[in-house]
Amino acid sequence: MPSKQYAFHDGKSGAALAIRVTPRSSANQVDEILNNGAVRVRLTASGNDLEINRALISFLSGVLDIPTSKIEIVAGESGYDKLISILDIDVESVHQLILEHLK
């Protein structure tokens, strides 16, 4: 199986992560790494963007074992494609934790 390329980026004091959200799923899970390097996250949340965004931040907090206050949606608040800023964690740690939770 060929190795996939991941699009994790060093941030000013943390990491940035591209996310594609799929709402109304049967479970919250890290589903796959897309060809463009974004991470597909499936969420049980449905409804408005605010509810989906809160569910995403809460889920990522658990996956990355960091407080929700360290996670911010910096782009894509009203869509399914989002750019997430994660403070006080390095790219390698994010990469490893995402891979551990990949279904």
25-37 confidence digits (pLDDT tens): 999 999 999 998 8
pLDDT of residue 2: 55
pLDDT band for position 11 (cuts 50, 70, 90) = very low
- Is residue 14 in a domain? yes
Residue 30 domain boundaries:
9-101
- Is residue 3 in a domain? no
β-strand pairing of 39-42 with 29-33: antiparallel
52-91 confidence digits (pLDDT tens): 999 999 999 999 999 999 999 999 999 999 999 999 888 8
Q: What is the CATH number of the domain that holds 97?
A: 3.30.1200.10
Domain count, the chain: 1
- Is residue 2 in a domain? no
User: pTM of the entire structure?
Assistant: 0.84
Do residues 63 and 94 touch, judged by C-beta distance below 8 A?
A: no
